[in-house]
Every structure is written in C-alpha cells, then in structure tokens.
Amino acid sequence: MSVLVGRKAPSFSAPAVVNGGEIVQDFSLDQYIGKNHVLFFFYPKDFTFVCPSELHAFQAKLGEFEQRGVKVVACSTDTEESHWGWLQVPKDKGGIQGITYPIVADTSKTITEAYGVMAGEYDYDVEGNMIATGPMIAYRGLFLIDKDGTVMHQLVNNLPLGRNVDEALRMVDALQFFEENGEVCPANWHKGDEGMTASFDGVADYLAKH
C-alpha cells in the first residue's frame, strides 16, 4: 500500500457507467485536470451490503459537491455490466438505482493497484503458479485530487468500515479554503471557521484564542 498525497494521481482509461446507465469505454480523470477538483473513491464490490449505503450517501450529497465544483467518481473491480445491472436494482431492494455519478470498472485491477488500495496481493506457490493471497478487491479508499491532478487527501478504510461523507465534504472545504486564502486549517476546522497563518506567530495567536 502506498501514500499518494502530494503526488500526481495515477492516470488511467477504463470503462465506466455514467449518468445512471450509459456505458462509456474510455473514461479518465484526466478530463477534469485544470477544471475541477475530484473526489475519487473505491468500494469493494457490487451487490454487497455496506457499499450501497456509501454510494447512496455520496449521491445524497452530490449537489453539495457540485456546488463546490467537485466531481465525484466511484470505482470497483467489478465489470461495467455488473455496475449497470446493480444500477437497475431499486434502493429498497439493496440496489443503487438513482446513482448518477460515474462508476469505473477496474476489471484488470490495475487502477486499484496503482492507487495502492488492493485487498490482497499476487504471489507464487511452491510449483511456481500465481496465486492470490486475498480477495483481490478494493479497500474503501478515498482520494481528493486538486485541479492540477495532485492528490491532496487520502483515506483508506478496511472492508467493514463505511466512510463519513460529511468528512469528505469538510476536507473539500479545507482544501478550497487554503487555495483561496493561503491560510492553513487547524484541527476540527469547518467551513466558516478562521484559519491560521503557517508561522509560529500564527499558531501562537490561534491557540491563544482557542
């Protein structure tokens, strides 16, 4: 597993389902460089249990991300046909019908590997045969990417642990506050709070007030 913060987000081109049902073959995050921030998140598997709760939670807040100019994109190692099929299943039946942001199909697992969120790895047995040492699906990885294509925030949860979408929004707000004001965001910062200058005087002044 690798830390990508401060580095360029790995580039890829892969099939994806967009707009809730349209399959495209060459989806890439590169289309957003210079235009949008991107919230790119991985989930383990279609037709499972924690995953739909997360996908719907991101959809419920999609308008708030869009107001901030942020594109939300999901990814798993399932096929685009699997994504499409799950999108046809109503929410009350455990499906993800109503999800409109893109869902990338990483069937080759190369995107998951590049982002360092693969649950398991390939190895060889004593006879030289390649074997998998885990489920070979994605952990719950989340990456906030700025307009230059640089990863600014990274979070990886193990398979049973769902993420907090409000925290993802808070990180977007913190990044955009820093970009717009040049001030850094202290612990527990929320939109509307004051920042502080990255200096000893700045932190002393902030701590004196809090």
pLDDT digits (tens, 9 = 90+) for 57-66: 999 999 999 9
Residues annotated as part of the active site: 51
Q: Which residues form the domain of 168?
A: 164-210
31 vs 95: CA distance, rounded Å: 28
**CATH code at 60?**
3.40.30.10
Same domain for 148 and 93, yes or no, is yes
128 and 59 in a common domain: yes
- Which pTM does this prediction carry? 0.93
Q: Are residues 207 and 148 in the same domain?
A: no
In terms of domains, do 198 and 125 share one?
A: no
Section 105-123 average pLDDT? 93
CA 35 to CA 88: how far, in whole Å? 31
Specify if 128 maps to a domain: yes
pLDDT in tens, 22-53: 999 999 999 999 999 999 999 999 999 999 99
Instruction: Answer yes or no: are the C-beta atoms of 77 and 137 closer than 8 Å.
Output: yes
Percent share of the chain, pLDDT over 70 = 96
Residue-wise pLDDT for 136-157, tens only, equals: 999 999 999 999 999 999 999 9
Question: How many distinct structural domains can be found in the chain?
Answer: 2
4 within a domain of the structure (yes/no): no
Confidence at residue 132, expressed as pLDDT on a 0 to 100 scale? 73
Q: How many whole angstroms separate alpha carbon 10 and alpha carbon 115?
A: 7
Q: Please check whether residues 134 and 174 belong to one and the same domain.
A: no
Considering the domain architecture, whether residues 137 and 191 belong to the same structural domain is answered as no
Claim to verify: residue 47 and residue 115 sit in the same structural domain: yes
Residue 2 lies in a domain: no
